[in-house]
Chain A
Amino acid sequence: MTGSSREMARPFKELWRELGASRDFFAVQGLPAPAPEATPEAYFAALGEAVLIEAGCSREELAARFGKFLAALGRIDAAPPVVASMTVRGGADKRGRPETLDITLVPGDVVALVGPTGSGKSRFLADVEWLADADTPTGRRVLLDGAPADAARRLSLSGRLVAQLSQNMHFVMDMAVGPFLCAHAESRLLADPDRAAAEVTALANELAGEPFDAATPLTALSGGQSRALMIADVARLCASPVVLVDEIENAGIDRRRAIALLTGSGKIVLVATHDPLLALLASRRLVFSGGAVAHTLETSPAERRALAELAALDAVLTRAREDLRLGRTVAAHKETH
């Protein structure tokens, strides 16, 4: 007999222990809650006519649906997709000229995407997300671990390959930080959601200037705090192997540490930015123009020295901002590089 008919003869309490979400089936359909000792077989056989009319289907259909529901629940995949490398091979620009691009990224790599609005950065992201296989307008191909993904893998990775952090994104849920992070950890089926939530809150506090705690409502977080929480959450709780950072403003968060947190968690990091402190943290830069990558630049030693100078300038500005915030007078900081 099939697996599902075996399930139908086991008491609900056992099913619930293994697949907690299987209870949802009844609540969501407005069916009476089953007794823990009852078996699905007995439960569906005993359903009254009025309940069946309300549910809009027969006993047999309902039982079959429950069987399918159980089977599908067992397949929900919370495990992170593991990607050892991601390769993007060029296609053609808007005028059909070949794109000189062949880049392979491994966990911990940071690549900056630069170029004016409309130069093709969004299309590049869309190609990565959909694992383009010469079947999008750019003709690009995206390989995982050196091979193209088949249709089933592309669909199952859809929305799970790339996590996104962008300026337009905000927390909108009416929940406090702690319970929300627990809900996120639970959605990953992590063993200890409370600990994971506490860890993310602590990390976010290290990134953000102003402290917040588990009881702070998500929607009450400042811009900097939200950004810090989003980054810490993506680093620790999000399963996606690739992260796109789209212009994080310098709202009082430590950008260098933010990127280090992401790379340290084994992410491939794409940063779409013209902020030199962010862009120069990347080891490579894709320069977009006319819908395609025009050059791939390595960050040069001279640029690394420039980054150190810019970081020192930024530190001066940050201190002055901090002085103002704390009601002090702004000191003239003498040390220069």
Chain B
Amino acid sequence: MKCVTVAGPPSSGKTSILLKAAAVLAGRGQRLGVVKFDCLASRDREAFAAAGVPAVVGLSGALCPDHFYVCNAADAFAWGARQGLSILAVESAGLCNRCAPHIEGVLAVCVVDSLSGVDTPAKIGPMLRLADVVAVTKGDVVSQAEREVFAFRVRRVNPRATVLFVSGLTGQGADALAHVIAAAPETPTLDGATLRFTMPAAVCSYCLGQRRVGADHQMGNVRKMDFSEVAP
């Protein structure tokens, strides 16, 4: 089975472009399935089900969404293999911008929305920096010039990546996306695979459910900001 991690800010178009790519792949006899990691409930599962794309949604709830994702990644892979999928896509929106779900040896896609402003590519972090493919969405509603400027800013942050314009609405660009997904390396297992970026090194009292604010209630891995006055 091939595997692809698909990450990007909420509502950037991850689900939409996966659906478009799945349709192209289905036309070539390849079955794509999705495991979606999120921190809040969404209607993605219905969207996948309606399109006949096998999908499972995992909600991190009160847990750190990043840690929740890694703890379940190998199980997600095993599920995909049991389903007999050709390609497993792991969609994650719940992760914070500090983190990235991308794994060494697994195709890494980052989805960014061209409506989100020219400074967005520089703000997204390792999710974009460490991706192999960057899918720029919503180009169907912005000018050609803005699409080009946006793509250029993406390339400056991650010059290694293949940048594709994909519309989650019209499906334009889905052929190219399906092509790169289908060309992903075979992944024998995720057991023992390495993340491309570290997860947050947390474990403070708040990780364990503490809700009270203030020094008396803080334990573990705590870092304090420097509020000392800066000399003018």
Residues of A within 8 A of B (CB): 21, 24, 27-29, 53, 56-57, 68-69, 72-73, 75-76, 122, 125-126, 129-130, 132, 136-137, 151, 154-155, 158-159, 163-166, 168-175, 180-181, 183-184, 186-188, 226, 230, 233-234, 237-238, 240
Say how far A232's CB is from chain B's closest CB, in angstroms.
Answer: 10
Please name 4 further chain A to chain B contacts, defined as beta carbons within 8 Å, in addition to the given A68-B160, A130-B176, A173-B118, sorted by A numbering.
A69-B160, A72-B160, A130-B179, A171-B142
Q: A56–B197 contact, CB under 8 A?
A: yes
Q: A166–B140 contact, CB under 8 A?
A: yes
Chain B: CB-nearest residue to A232: B145
Q: B173–A171 contact, CB under 8 A?
A: no
Q: A183–B149 contact, CB under 8 A?
A: yes
Binds A, one of B11-19, B52-60, B75-83, B163-171: B163-171
Q: What 1/0 mask marks residues of chain B from 56 to 68 whose CB sits below 8 Å from any chain A CB? A: 0000000000000
Main SS at interface, chain A = helix
**List of B residues within 8 angstroms of A155 by Cβ:** 162, 164, 176, 179-180
**List of A residues within 8 angstroms of B163 by Cβ:** 159
Q: A129–B140 contact, CB under 8 A?
A: no
B201 near A: Cβ within 8 Å?
A: yes
B129 near A: Cβ within 8 Å?
A: yes
B188 near A: Cβ within 8 Å?
A: no
Residues of B within 8 A of A (CB): 27, 115, 117-118, 122, 125-126, 129, 136, 140-149, 151-153, 155-157, 159-160, 162-165, 170-176, 179-180, 183, 197-198, 201
**List of A residues within 8 angstroms of B153 by Cβ:** 187
**Given A173-B118, A183-B149, A237-B145: A21 and B156 within 8 A (CB)?**
yes
Q: A24–B156 contact, CB under 8 A?
A: yes
**List of A residues within 8 angstroms of B144 by Cβ:** 163-165, 169, 230, 233-234, 238, 240
Say how far B9's CB is from chain A's closest CB, in angstroms.
Answer: 16
**List of A residues within 8 angstroms of B143 by Cβ:** 169-172, 226, 230, 233
Q: B197–A168 contact, CB under 8 A?
A: no
Q: B122–A159 contact, CB under 8 A?
A: no
Out of A75, A136, A187, name the residue touching B175 (CB < 8 Å).
Answer: A136
Say how far A30's CB is from chain B's closest CB, in angstroms.
Answer: 9
Q: A151–B172 contact, CB under 8 A?
A: no
Please report the C-alpha to C-alpha distance between residue A183 and residue B155 in the assembled complex, in whole angstroms: 14
Q: B141–A170 contact, CB under 8 A?
A: yes
Could you list 7 A-B pairs, sorted by A, with CB under 8 Å? A28-B157, A56-B126, A57-B198, A158-B164, A187-B149, A187-B151, A234-B145
4 A-B pairs with the lowest CB-CB distances in the bound complex, closest first? A72-B159, A187-B152, A56-B198, A130-B175
Say how far A134's CB is from chain B's closest CB, in angstroms.
Answer: 13
Say how far B162's CB is from chain A's closest CB, in angstroms.
Answer: 6
Chain A: CB-nearest residue to B114: A172
Please report the C-alpha to C-alpha distance between residue A56 and residue B99 in the assembled complex, in whole angstroms: 10
**List of B residues within 8 angstroms of A29 by Cβ:** 129
Please report the C-alpha to C-alpha distance between residue A73 and residue B161 in the assembled complex, in whole angstroms: 11
**List of B residues within 8 angstroms of A126 by Cβ:** 171-172, 174-175
Q: A184–B149 contact, CB under 8 A?
A: yes
**List of A residues within 8 angstroms of B198 by Cβ:** 56-57
Out of A53, A151, A171, A240, name the residue touching B146 (CB < 8 Å).
Answer: A171
Q: A172–B145 contact, CB under 8 A?
A: no
Chain B: CB-nearest residue to A127: B175
